[in-house]
Chain A
Amino acid sequence: MKISISSFKWLFGRNSEFWPTNMKTGMWAWVGHRLTGLALVAYVFLHLSFLTTASLGSGDFDSLMATTSKPLFIAMDFMLVILVIYHAMNGARVVLFDLGIGIRRQKLVFWVTMAIAAVLIVGGLWAIWHLIIGGSGGA
């Protein structure tokens, strides 16, 4: 099988269903789910790598913890929180549809789950705000 540019025609270009103006709500949700999912898989491996240097390697666990509690890292943690919350709430929507719940009102269900996601994200930000702005990172 030959892999060429034309193999990806369905993915890119004006006639692709993924071209922004061709996408409807459900498609945006689906694309977002995949992108956040891929990012989270990458994060798991990053997470294990960092822990390896601190636990098995020459690195020092306590100093790694001190570094990762600095405002910059807490802010990056919060990006992770946003990805997880979106992925979880959109995932909940997918599971509901699989159970046959809410399919006829799928747009409404999408916006309700996103509203819950927004509340969780704001709540999360409220909880860790002082660690980003406060400077010392709780140390």
Chain B
Amino acid sequence: MSEQRIATSKVAGTWAWFFQRLSAVLLIVFLGIHLYVAHFMGVSEENPGETLITFNDVQVRLDQLIYVVVDYGMLSMVLLHGLNGLRTVAFDFDMFAKRKKLVDVGLWVLGIATLIWGIIILFPFIFGE
């Protein structure tokens, strides 16, 4: 197994390693922003004490470009980090390590499709229902 693990890190590659660290650090930053914005800033402009988030609150937020950028940026980093992590785990198993191309293509397709899915989810908030 120890030989296998060395082999695994070679299969995954240096770029995967680098982007996993970069996205990890960015995710901590995004997570801080996300927690502050969603739970500490006060969700409702009209009713500061209210903690229950409404459709309208989200709409007001997403009217400002910065929140859209933060949301989509965070989703991109989550997908990059999560699916890259999945790839690393997968390559510890022979059956996936031997099908590297297939795993890579599959995860890229899944990642891009999920990002598009996430982007579309916010459309009703950004453009109205």
B: which residues have CB within 8 A of A? 1, 4, 21, 24-25, 27-28, 31, 50-55, 58, 78-79, 82-83, 85-86, 89, 94-95, 98, 114, 117-118, 120-125
Complex contacts, A1 vs chain B, CB 8 Å:
94-95, 98
Complex contacts, A126 vs chain B, CB 8 Å:
none
Contact present for A69 and B52 (CB under 8 Å): yes
Give the contacting residue for A91; candidates B24, B98, B114; CB below 8 A.
B24
How far is A137 from B53 in the complex, measured between Cα atoms in Å?
12
Ordered nearest first, which 8 A-B pairs have the shortest CB separation? A138-B51, A41-B82, A61-B55, A10-B1, A37-B85, A55-B124, A139-B52, A51-B121
Contact present for A66 and B82 (CB under 8 Å): no
Number of interface residues of A (CB under 8 A): 33
Contact present for B121 and A56 (CB under 8 Å): yes
What is the distance, in angstroms, from B32's C-beta to the closest C-beta of chain A? 10
A: which residues have CB within 8 A of B? 1, 3, 7, 10, 16-17, 34, 37-38, 40-41, 44-45, 48, 51-52, 55-56, 61-62, 65-66, 69, 84, 88, 91-92, 95, 98, 131, 137-139
Give the contacting residue for A3; candidates B25, B89, B95; CB below 8 A.
B95
Contact present for B82 and A44 (CB under 8 Å): yes
Give the contacting residue for B89; candidates A37, A40, A65; CB below 8 A.
A37
Given contact pairs A55-B121, A55-B125, A69-B52, enumerate 5 new A-B contacts (beta carbons under 8 Å): A7-B94, A40-B82, A56-B123, A56-B124, A88-B27
Complex contacts, B24 vs chain A, CB 8 Å:
91, 95
Complex contacts, A139 vs chain B, CB 8 Å:
52
Residue of B nearest to A84 (CB): B31
Complex contacts, B83 vs chain A, CB 8 Å:
41
Contact present for B121 and A17 (CB under 8 Å): no
- List, sorted by A's number, 25 A–B pairs whose CB atoms are closer than 8 Å: A1-B94, A1-B95, A1-B98, A34-B89, A38-B86, A40-B82, A41-B85, A44-B82, A44-B114, A48-B121, A51-B121, A52-B117, A55-B124, A56-B124, A66-B52, A69-B51, A69-B52, A91-B24, A95-B21, A95-B24, A98-B21, A131-B51, A137-B52, A138-B50, A138-B51
